[in-house]
Structure formats: structure tokens, C-alpha cells
Amino acid sequence: MLISKASRFGVWSCAVTHSARLFSRSSNMAKSKFEYVRNFETDDTCLRNCYIVVRLDGRNFHKFAEQHKFAKPNDDRALGLMTRSACSVMEELEDIIIAYGQSDEFSFVFKRTSNWFKRRASKLMTHVASQFSSSYVFYWKEFFEDQPLLYPPGFDGRVILYPSNRNLRDYLSWRQADCHINNLYNTVFWTLVQGRGLTTTEAEDRLKGTLAAHKNEILFSEFGINYNNESSVHRKGTTLIWEKVYETVTKRMKLPNEEEKDVPVTRSRRRVEAYHCDIIGEQFWEEHPDILEDDNC
Amino acid sequence: MLISKASRFGVWSCAVTHSARLFSRSSNMAKSKFEYVRNFETDDTCLRNCYIVVRLDGRNFHKFAEQHKFAKPNDDRALGLMTRSACSVMEELEDIIIAYGQSDEFSFVFKRTSNWFKRRASKLMTHVASQFSSSYVFYWKEFFEDQPLLYPPGFDGRVILYPSNRNLRDYLSWRQADCHINNLYNTVFWTLVQGRGLTTTEAEDRLKGTLAAHKNEILFSEFGINYNNESSVHRKGTTLIWEKVYETVTKRMKLPNEEEKDVPVTRSRRRVEAYHCDIIGEQFWEEHPDILEDDNC
Amino acid sequence: MLISKASRFGVWSCAVTHSARLFSRSSNMAKSKFEYVRNFETDDTCLRNCYIVVRLDGRNFHKFAEQHKFAKPNDDRALGLMTRSACSVMEELEDIIIAYGQSDEFSFVFKRTSNWFKRRASKLMTHVASQFSSSYVFYWKEFFEDQPLLYPPGFDGRVILYPSNRNLRDYLSWRQADCHINNLYNTVFWTLVQGRGLTTTEAEDRLKGTLAAHKNEILFSEFGINYNNESSVHRKGTTLIWEKVYETVTKRMKLPNEEEKDVPVTRSRRRVEAYHCDIIGEQFWEEHPDILEDDNC
Amino acid sequence: MLISKASRFGVWSCAVTHSARLFSRSSNMAKSKFEYVRNFETDDTCLRNCYIVVRLDGRNFHKFAEQHKFAKPNDDRALGLMTRSACSVMEELEDIIIAYGQSDEFSFVFKRTSNWFKRRASKLMTHVASQFSSSYVFYWKEFFEDQPLLYPPGFDGRVILYPSNRNLRDYLSWRQADCHINNLYNTVFWTLVQGRGLTTTEAEDRLKGTLAAHKNEILFSEFGINYNNESSVHRKGTTLIWEKVYETVTKRMKLPNEEEKDVPVTRSRRRVEAYHCDIIGEQFWEEHPDILEDDNC
């Protein structure tokens, strides 16, 4: 079977003329002779005591969404798959304390004291990009039952360091503000196109230069839509954090001098939980005081 | 359906109490207020006029191979899938001139004058890692028909720069020498285990301290195996390069003052080709003089 | 006069054979043709919101001290010159909030919000190294009246970033702890050599493996020296900070409807002040609360 | 004497209240407790097999030149001092193969295989900046006999890597083309001001938009000056390289079975030599084939 696949690329084997023994000896020598090339690797250790953010962005996702018939302005299957893949990243990699996603992007925050992969930036970001991408394909059919995946998608990533809690929170606020602005625009835009029959160019012209208040007004006065009643997944994006959950199970136990009987046992474990709420204000952070570490450490 | 998936992570929506208009205005202001966080991104442009190598390595692939019942010492399905995924990377990303893979690793070489993604190291390596990983899952069932993929695998990557043709060739030679040493060892090891019934510990002890010549000798004298007749895919790994291929097709054409007729037309296009031959010596490079650019440019 | 100096290196001029006009035109074109080499410069911007520390170390100062007959274990002229040069750096460069020096090293701390030289690490460290070195030679004779400077000395530098106040204070504590350990050792060592006539080898042997307490004991019981009464410059090093000083001067002024008269006027200005006290504990920082900025900014 | 100097900065010593022994013990522990701050240093090793260029530029030298009454358009004393300082850098630091200077800048090229200071960029550039700056002050009075140095000058530096001989030569050509363009402009400008009595604004206006050919024409037709006869130091800048020089000395020797007599002995040593010639064309490099290393190494 391999052969039929391999023939997809033309395969040639080169003639081997030298004897096995001669070659073996020389190639052994060769390896040590070539090993100097390792010294060209550079150290890209992330500065200590800083939060490490890895952000992924979909590559050519506008076209990808078209080809896979994503619903407008938001496709819940696509958002669910992004969240599922992000969850896989959090469960597989160590030390991610919070992740935030919207549209075709997801940001992962490693704790400031993390020493995972010795804080090597290249390892951290390629691992996140790799695990996210393989998960996206792996879980595709759980979210897109009737829509086959046409080709393997790509994501690019970057690493950014934040020295203080304020900086990190401002980064997450920046991404959520971006989510809000884009989603409000897209909601009005597609309501005009789908509900009123405007062409995309007409809708664009209609929205040119409008402020947020105007867009809310259009939705409310023309379509009776209160933007704040729209789905929080779309308005706020998705925040993933670790939470302790407690389960009570019954275990058959035998204590000394007693008969065997069923005993209720409470166990705790960490689980990734998804939130679709405001993370710009104080409330979320006050309710989850364990996410951020103390600044002056 | 999304809901049943989403319930896998506990989802809560937070109460929204403020009016839509107030919020919108403040979050618009907010975005510009937060945008300073972009200045924390650092520039990681690769030094110009150097070859850019991105190498991927499978994460925990020892365990992954066990769980997916890879054949020992080499699984042709797994090697074929690695090559197929690497081919996808070459076809999707620009400016890769050669790729070399063996076992669970693959190296991709961008041409020294490449300006893809403005030579930003993070973009280059995450893109390669992402495209390779999504392809690995996407093409899995073409190579593993009867073996389902149990979970999404991960790969990590790194970037290394090489200023000269000599350095780049030494890098590729280093990887091929590594392939040779490992494959010779593994071949003898598994022949002792599978063919002679040694335990893995006994096989290890038997091979401790042996040179390449001894290993060849064991294979030949005890099992009648000439190592050089083993598959070149295993001994030499896989080298991918671009080659021009010519196709002759017939086209129905009508020239002025002539009747319509079938005309043979030759077209050329670039195609990724796989080689399993020595790339340490001069022959391969003399036969493919267009891969490397001139040093003094 | 220049000629006699220049002849120190052999000077040859090459024959110029082309006409001025031709050359000029071609060299103008040439410049734009060569300007691509600027793209090889890399961006080395320091991560924002971190303290930037530049530390200088004397190069071959052991030999330099010998050749310039520095007193043992401490030469007050040399320490004074180091401090004078550091003061010059603080006065010439912007945004240094504190500097700490001991022996032949000096550390300079730029405030975390500094944008001096766009936070380019190379600019910051070379400027500090340059200004310090030229000052060292410039002020030499103010401190070494009878000892001519034999050759221009060298210092090397490095840049280190600290994200939190705690990290920065620990850095400064590390340097002061180093000062203490070295000075205690050197004080006992040279007291044994100078006061008791031991050879340097004998003194070394005597001190091998001794703890701080033993060294204090030797000083006190054998020489009647209480180490804590030794000069604080030697025990604690030198800390430079900016302080506001107020001066009252008399100005001849004429107010409306009054006769001209002398009026006392109080002016404030920033001045570098030197401390030789403990900076490991809280007291120094409580007394100077303006040096460090708030962590969560 | 130190005291009178130190009083320039206000010096206070802090009260020490704890006992020597207690303190010593705690500070010894302290040092190891603080040593984690070393991990915040980052590795800035220069990519191997690349030429390392360190360029220095005078800081605020326009003002420095005014204050020290530099002659216009070129001051031979200042140029001589720059060259003398650069020579000191070459003699003190290892592995510099060529240096090029003009105006208030100097570039130093370390050989591509250099391992000096383990190729750490920060060490290389601060050392060059430091040695150059201390030399500039140290040798000042050899070049400026009647003009005292008013304050210690500063230079900033940067590091740039060049992978190929072509890139390095283009860098040096870029700097020499810059020298040519600036010097031609300055020569005409100051000739108009000094020889014709134009104000600097009038001279500026006169030269606005002129090409090199026009400037040559002005010099020749109005002042009878052939620019090519101007000093090559000004037109071409200064190139420093190492050359072997041979000296013949007579030594009093006694050979076996002969009488003692004077014997001529030829010794060779390396010496820095200064050139003021074109380094853009081939001739210079053909005459000095040993400066550059082979590209494909």
C-alpha cells in the first residue's frame, strides 16, 4: 500500500556502490565531523517571571470558511471546534493557566513561573501550534458531521511576554475588545444582507463611519434586535480556565470490625471550564483569584 | 449538537447588566487604550542571506508508536505518512527548496533569499509545525487503513540558520549520518529479538560497544543479511526536492486557414520528488545543481 | 603634526586614475546599491515594563591594579574614580534611577518605563560603557595625582532585564552580598599578609574553608579588629541615587512700588548622592520610596 | 584627598546595628538566595560563520566639534585621534581583521571564525566601545596640544552580522560611499562659506538638489579646485589592516668553532597599517587576499 502512495511523488533510489563496512566506518566518523552544526542553534529562552502568551491565528481562514460553508456571521460548529482544540492544548501541555479565543484566533497564557521546555520560545509556540492543528482535524467530524474537511488547515503563532498582571489583563482585554467590535460590525452587516437583502457592498457603505451606538441603533430600530441579547459566545468569545470539580462516587469498602458496605467518597480533579463573559472588568478576576500570581515575586 | 459537545467543558454565561450603548462606547475606547500591549512583541527576523532550517520532532513518539502498533524496526506506513505530510508542507508554504526526514523528524530548508513572512522565525516555524500536524491527521487513514488514530499527536519545532552552502550540507549530512547509525543499530537489535528470540535486554547487552563493522558482521554471518541490500528508505531516509516534470497532452486547436485538429502540447510544472539516496557525498548535489544558491551573493 | 603621528602606522595612498565626474556619479549610485546591508541589523529592543540593568566589569583589572600600584585590599583612589565615572554616566544619560558599584564593577538601572534610545539594548550598553570609560581616563588625575595612567583601560558590559521590584532588589542584594563576601575575605587575607607577614599562599591556606564567622573571629581575636568598624565604603559598596537638594540664594529684586532689595530664593535641583549603606534590607527602600515604580503598571 | 572629591556627591553612611557575626552568616545565605537573578541574563551569541561588525558613532559630535573648535570641513587632528583610538582597539582586542573609519564613526570587523568572548554580542560591542573611548581621552593631547578636552565624550555602538564576503564588502563600500558623498558636499559647502563669504544658509540653498557632477563643477570652475586632488584621507576615509613587517637587526652571535660576530637577523611581526584608498573596487582586495576568509567554509 505504501508503494501506491509513495508513487504520488516520483521515487528513485540511488545506486550504492561502496561496501557496507567501508561506508559504515566513514559515516560514523562523519557524524562527529558534522556535529559542529548544532552550535548554530540559538538560545531563545523567555525572560523569567513574565507571563508567556502564545497566540494562534488561522491562515487564510476567510477562504477556508467559504469553502467549508461556515454560517455568517458566526458558525457555532467552527467556534466549538476551536474551543475543543484549545481544550486539547490545555490538557496536553503544562502550565497554561488561561486561554482566550474568538473568531479564528486563540491565545494561551503560560504561568509566569513556568519552566516548561525550559521556557524555550520556539518549543512553546510550535508545540501549541502543532497540538492545536492536529486536534482541529482530529475533532472536525464531531462538529461538522455533514461537511467533510477538504484539506488540512494551517495556523501561525507568535510568543509575547508580559511582565505584570496589569499588562496581561490588558492583553486579554485587547483581544476581547477586538471580539466585541468585530462581532457587532458583523452582526449588523449580515443582518442587513440576510434580513434586508442588501448586497455586501451596500451593507459596507451603510456602515462606513458608524460608531458602536449607531450600529446598536440600526439593529434595534430596524430589526428589533437588542444586541445584548445576542449569544454571549459571539459577543464575549471563549475563556478557558482550570477549575476544581468534586465528584461523589460510592465505593465498596470494608473497615476493620465492620461488614463490607458502600461508602460515598468525594474526589476532586482539575477540569477545563469555558466561560463566555466579560474579562475586561474586575468581576471575573475577583471570582477567580487563583489564575494570576502575585506581581512582586 | 454543539451544545452536547460544549457541555464537555462546563459553560457558564455571566450576567450582563449594563446597557448596550454604554458598553459599546466604553469598549471602543477600551481597545485603543489596550493596544499598547502590541509593543511587547519582539522582532525575530532571521538574519538575511542565510538558509533557514525548520526541524520538527515528534513528541512522545516512542509511546505513540507503541499505542498505534508501529512495526519494528521501521513502519513503512508511518514513514509514508511523515513523507506525505512533509510534501503537504512544501506544497502549501513558499520557498522550501529541500526537506529531509527520517524516523519521527523532518527538516525543511527555506532558500537563503526567501522573504516569506518577512523571515520572521516565529511565523515560519509555527506554520511548518501547524501544516505538518494537521496533514498528519488528515492523511492518517490513507496510510493506516485498519489502525484508527487514537489521539491528536504533537510535534515540536526549532529554527536554525546556516550562512554557507557548506554549513547547510553539513547539517543535512549530520541528520543522514544519524539516520544511518540509528537504523543499523535498530536493524540488528530487532533482528536479534525477532529472529533469534533474545529479550530486549539481551539484545542491548549484545550490541553494547559494538562498532558499525561488528553490527554488519552480525547481520551477515548470523542471519545472512547484507545491510546494504536493506531498503534505502530506511538506510538513507527521505529527501524531498522540487523537480520540473513535462507532460504531453493533446489539445483540440484550430489554426487560421486550417481545419480544427488535435495538437500535442508539452507542459511543464514543478512537482515534489522523493529520493532515498546518499546526500552526504557530491553526486546528489552535482546532479541537482539548482537546489543551492551561490555562496558569495 | 598629524603626519608625524600618522607615520606610526604606515600610510599609503592609492593611485586614483578615473575622472572625478565619472567616479562621483558611480559612487552615488553605489550608495543606494549597497544600502541593502542595513537590513542585516537586528532589532534588540528591551522588553517593555522591565527594569534594564547595565553592568560593567573591568577588563584585566587584576593586572591593571598591580601596574598602577593599587593599595590592598582596597584603594580609595580607585574606588573614588569608579564612583566619579559612574556619576558622570548618571548625569549624561537619561533615566538611570540607581547605580551600585563595588571593586571594579558598576551596575546601572534604567527605570522600567524608560524609552531612552527606544530601549535598544546595544545602544544602552555601549553608551554606558563608553561614557564610563572616557570618564575614567578623564578624571584619573583627580584621584591619582602621583600615579600616571599607563594605558587606556577597558570595561565590558551586559544588559539584564528584571520584570519586578523584587527581582531588581534581589539583583542589587546579590551584588552587595558579593561585595561583603569578597571584602571580608580580602580584609582578613591582607591583614594576615601585611600584619603577620604570611605569604599569600600561607594566607590562602589559612582561610580555605572558613566561614564568615571564623573570618570575623580571626580579625577580632588575632588583630583586635571589629570588621563592622571597617569603612562602610569597603563593606557596603557605593549606591548612587538622585536626590532633590534645596539651595537658598539671595537675588536682587525690585517689586512694584517697592525699592530694589535682596530677597532670599529657594531653588531645588536633582543631584546624584552616594550612599554606603545596606540596600538588602527594607530600611533604605522605605527611606527612598521614589526609586522604584509600582509593580502592577 | 578622596574625601574632598567624594564630597562632590553627598555621602552618608547608614547606622549599622546588628552584630558582625549574625550579619555575616545571614549575608552568606543571602548570596545563594539571590543568585537566581543570574538566570535572567540572556544568551546573545552571534551566529557562527558570519563576519561580526561593530560600528561606533560619536554621540552629539556636532556639538563636541564646535566646542573643541574642530576645523571645517575636516579636522586632521580629530581624524588622527579617531585612527589612533581605532588602532588601540585593534591591538587590544583579538580577531579584528579590518577596520574602516570616517568622520566620527569607525567600524570594526571580527573574522568570521572568531570565538573571542564566545561571540557574545554584548561583550564584543561594549569592549570595543569602552577601549575606543578610553583611548580617545588617553591620546587626546597627542593630537590636540593646545586644545584641552572639556569633558569626556561618548560613543554608541551596534553589532551587525554578515554571512558572505559579498555582504561584508558591500557594507564597507556603503560606508565609503557615504564618506565620499558627505565629504564632497562638505568640501563645496565650506569652500563657498570660507572662500566666497556665503552664509551657511546661502551655501545650503546653492547646493540644494545638486548632483555630484555639479558640485565638482562648482569647485573646479569657480575655485580652480580639482576634487580628486583633495586629501585622500578626507575623500576615502581610513582603512586599518594587519600587515607583516620585516626588520633586519644585527645580533652578536657565536657559532661553534667560530669567533663571536655580528650577524644580520630578519624578524617579522604584525603591525596595523592605515590606508586611505578605494575599497569599493577589486584592486584593494586583490592586493590583500588574506583579509577575507573563503565563503564556503
> Cβ separation of A296 and C49 shorter than 8 Å?
no
C127 is in an annotated binding site: no
Taking the CA of residue B261 and the nearest CA in chain A, the distance in Å comes to 32
Report the C-alpha gap between D199 and D190 in whole angstroms.
10
> Cβ separation of D42 and A47 shorter than 8 Å?
yes
Summarize the confidence of residues D287-291 as an average pLDDT.
Answer: 95
A170 is in an annotated binding site: no
pLDDT tens by residue, B213-242: 999 999 999 999 999 999 999 999 999 999
Checking if the pLDDT of C128 tops 90, the result is yes
Domain that holds residue D108: 51-238
pLDDT tens by residue, D76-105: 999 999 999 999 999 999 899 999 999 999
Would C14 be classed as within a structural domain? no
Report the C-alpha gap between B199 and B193 in whole angstroms.
6
Summarize the confidence of residues B93-104 as an average pLDDT.
Answer: 96
Q: What is residue C295's predicted lDDT score, i.e. its pLDDT?
A: 81
Would A290 be classed as within a structural domain? no
A60 is in an annotated binding site: yes
- Minimum CA–CA partner of C18 in chain D: D228
- Minimum CA–CA partner of C112 in chain A: A163
Checking if the pLDDT of D267 tops 60, the result is yes
Report the C-alpha gap between B187 and B72 in whole angstroms.
9
Q: Is the peptide bond before C73 cis (omega within 30 degrees of 0)?
A: yes
- Pairing mode of beta strands C261-275, D51-58: unpaired
Checking if the pLDDT of B23 tops 80, the result is no
Distances (CA, A) of C247 to A266, C251, C268, D10, D173: 72, 12, 6, 14, 55
Give B-chain residues touching D165 at CB under 8 angstroms.
Answer: 296
C57 is in an annotated binding site: yes
Report the C-alpha gap between B168 and B52 in whole angstroms.
9
- Pairing mode of beta strands C261-275, D11-12: parallel
> Cβ separation of C42 and B47 shorter than 8 Å?
yes
Q: Is B163 on the interface with D (CB under 8 A)?
A: yes
- Minimum CA–CA partner of A39 in chain D: D48
- Here the CATH number for the domain that contains residue D187 is 3.30.70.3000
C101 is in an annotated binding site: no
Q: What is residue B94's predicted lDDT score, i.e. its pLDDT?
A: 86
C44 is in an annotated binding site: no
Chain B interface test: which of A122, A231, A240, A282 (most B C-beta within 10 Å): A122
Q: Whose CA is closest to D179, among D106, D233, D235, D99?
A: D235
Half-sphere CA count of C293, side-chain side, radius 13 A: 18
C232 is in an annotated binding site: no
Taking the CA of residue A167 and the nearest CA in chain C, the distance in Å comes to 7
Least confident of A212-226, D57-71, D142-156, D253-267: D253-267
Would B26 be classed as within a structural domain? no
- Minimum CA–CA partner of A39 in chain B: B160
Q: What is residue C14's predicted lDDT score, i.e. its pLDDT?
A: 36
Taking the CA of residue D123 and the nearest CA in chain C, the distance in Å comes to 6
In chain A, the number of structural domains is 1
Summarize the confidence of residues B99-104 as an average pLDDT.
Answer: 97
Q: How many CB atoms lie within 10 A of CB C216?
A: 24
Give C-chain residues touching D27 at CB under 8 angstroms.
Answer: 177, 180-181, 212, 280
Q: What is residue C162's predicted lDDT score, i.e. its pLDDT?
A: 98
Across the interface, of C163, C296, C297, the residue whose CB is closest to A49 is C163
Interface of C with B in 68-127 (CB under 8 A): none
B10-42: burial string, b at 16+ Cβ within 10 Å, e else: ebeebeeeeebbebbeebbebbeebeebeebbb
Q: What is residue B5's predicted lDDT score, i.e. its pLDDT?
A: 36
Q: How many CB pairs under 8 A join A and D?
A: 17
Checking if the pLDDT of C18 tops 90, the result is no
Would B131 be classed as within a structural domain? yes
User: pTM for this structure?
Assistant: 0.89
- Minimum CA–CA partner of C167 in chain A: A297
> Cβ separation of B50 and D165 shorter than 8 Å?
no
* Chain B contact partners (≥3 CB pairs within 8 A): A, C, D
Would D260 be classed as within a structural domain? no
Residues annotated within the binding site of B are 57-62, 103-104
> Cβ separation of C163 and A50 shorter than 8 Å?
yes
Which residues are paired to A261 by β-bridges? A253
Specify whether the backbone of D80 is left (phi greater than 0), alpha (psi in -120 to 50) or beta: alpha
Q: What is residue B30's predicted lDDT score, i.e. its pLDDT?
A: 76
Q: What is residue B251's predicted lDDT score, i.e. its pLDDT?
A: 87
Q: How does DSSP classify residue C222?
A: I
Checking if the pLDDT of D155 tops 70, the result is yes
Q: Which of B260-269, C101-110, D262-271 holds the top average pLDDT?
A: C101-110
Q: What is residue A28's predicted lDDT score, i.e. its pLDDT?
A: 55
Q: Whose CA is closest to C292, among C160, C113, C127, C131?
A: C113
Would A292 be classed as within a structural domain? no
* Residue D7 pLDDT class (50, 70, 90 cuts): very low
Distances (CA, A) of C43 to A9, A139, B222, C118, D2: 41, 40, 60, 10, 43
Would A194 be classed as within a structural domain? yes
Taking the CA of residue B176 and the nearest CA in chain A, the distance in Å comes to 9
Residues annotated within the binding site of D for Mg(2+) are 57-58, 104
Report the C-alpha gap between B135 and C244 in whole angstroms.
65
Report the C-alpha gap between B47 and B31 in whole angstroms.
34
pLDDT tens by residue, C161-216: 999 999 999 999 999 999 999 999 999 999 999 989 999 999 999 999 999 999 99
Q: Is C255 on the interface with D (CB under 8 A)?
A: no
Return mean pLDDT, chain C: 89
At B15, list the grid cell. Answer: 450576567
Give D-chain residues touching A43 at CB under 8 angstroms.
Answer: 42-43, 45
Q: What is residue A14's predicted lDDT score, i.e. its pLDDT?
A: 35
Give C-chain residues touching B43 at CB under 8 angstroms.
Answer: 42-43, 45
At D296, list the grid cell. Answer: 564556503
pLDDT tens by residue, B28-58: 557 899 999 999 999 999 999 999 999 999 9
C216 is in an annotated binding site: no
Which regions in chain A score pLDDT beneath 70?
Answer: 1-29
> Cβ separation of B138 and A152 shorter than 8 Å?
yes
Report the C-alpha gap between C160 and A47 in whole angstroms.
10
Checking if the pLDDT of C24 tops 80, the result is no
Contact between residue D98 and residue D239 where contact means Cβ atoms under 8 Å apart: yes
Checking if the pLDDT of C155 tops 50, the result is yes
Q: What is residue C251's predicted lDDT score, i.e. its pLDDT?
A: 87
Would A220 be classed as within a structural domain? yes
Report the C-alpha gap between C137 and C151 in whole angstroms.
9
Taking the CA of residue D295 and the nearest CA in chain A, the distance in Å comes to 16
> What is the distance of C-alpha A7 from the center of its chain?
36
pLDDT tens by residue, B150-163: 999 999 999 999 99
Q: How many residues does chain B have?
A: 297
Report the C-alpha gap between D200 and D179 in whole angstroms.
21
pLDDT tens by residue, D14-31: 333 333 444 444 555 578
Taking the CA of residue B269 and the nearest CA in chain C, the distance in Å comes to 33
